[in-house]
A = this chain, B = another copy of it.
Amino acid sequence: MDFRALRSFVVLANQLHFGRAANLLHLSQPALSKQIRKLEDEIGAPLFHRDTAGTSLSAAGAVLAKDAEDLLARCGEAFLRAQRAGRGEVGTLDIGFGIATYELVPRVIARFRSRYPEIHVSLRDMPTAEQVLALRAGRLDIGFIRLPAPDDFAVRPVATERLILALPPAAKDVRTMADLHGLPLVVMSRERTHYIFDQVIALCAAFHVTPYIAQEVAEFPTALALVASGVGASLVPRSARRDDLPIVYREIDHPAADWSVGAVWRPVEGECVVANFLACLGEKLGAQRSHPSSSDDIPPSPTGSAHDEFGR
């Protein structure tokens, strides 16, 4: 059943006049006659009674007319929805995020939702590794993971932190990571924030320090309190620093101390939903909105900007 014929049929059913209907449809009367006749052949029954005194709907025509109008409306609707989906205005967006983005992501999503109310956003809390898998499998559109990202992803760095050394006053002669060797260490529990734990371990390894774990804690303030009470040293993000405690801080001048989170996505052509979300993200970060909607180059990293976007 041809679509154009259906549209012609509806117009004719309203006009009940081949000439007028043909005009409205911007085609000639014989063309319309042919279309209708073809439709009638397909259906196997006349849709109109042709009478020189006037054209009128047949029983079959009357039945079809009722359905056809609705059908055309639905079709147009579907078409528009598809177009809007192409512009990233309707559809779904699956976002993965982890503990480090509990503050940032919901805020961006709130903005995104108000701007694109017809996008169904689904948030999935999962660790970095799982996000990478889900992204590759297409189960996620965007992930927020610890950087660096595997290089088959496009990246938008979102927040950068740097670990600093927190020392009890008694250990104020420790100046660098290397001096940490043998000192007891307060670390974040691997349970909840294993990537922080992992990074601490990796950082120690980078300095050939064998960490001696004195205590595991769940929150940075707790760790600092323990440091202040002399339990041991700790490594915390700079934003967690508290100066009201008797603690000595040391910068760590090593890339392994950098701790950044970025939005990553598969660099696929023409998926506007992702681009739209990244635009919201960019605005939220107050940074330049460099997001390649249809190119797979990695946007310039705004390193050094956007501190303190997370931290507890």
Q: Which residues of A approach B to under 8 Å, CB–CB?
A: 1-3, 42-47, 49, 56, 58-60, 62-64, 67-68, 71, 74-75, 77-79, 81-83, 85-88, 90-92, 138, 268-273
Contact = CB atoms under 8 A, between A and B. Distances in A.
Contacts of A87: 45
A58 B3 contact: no
B88 A44 contact: no
A242 B246 CA distance: 125
A64 B268 CA distance: 19
10 shortest interchain CB distances as A-B pairs:
A45-B86, A63-B85, A67-B78, A60-B85, A60-B86, A64-B82, A3-B3, A59-B91, A43-B82, A63-B91
A83 B45 contact: yes
Contacts of A43: 79, 82-83, 86
Contacts of A59: 85-86, 88, 91-92, 271-273
B56 A82 contact: no
A47 B78 CA distance: 13
A112 to B, nearest CB: 15
Contacts of A2: 3
Contacts of A58: 86, 270-271
Identify the interface centre among A42, A63, A92: most chain B CB within 10 Å of its CB.
A63
Identify the interface centre among A45, A88, A92, A272: most chain B CB within 10 Å of its CB.
A45
10 contacts: A1-B3, A44-B83, A59-B88, A59-B272, A60-B91, A64-B81, A64-B82, A64-B85, A67-B78, A68-B78
Contacts of A62: 85, 91-92
A136 to B, nearest CB: 12
A86 to B, nearest CB: 2
Nearest to A88: B59
B45 A60 contact: no
Contacts of A92: 59, 62
A64 B64 CA distance: 25
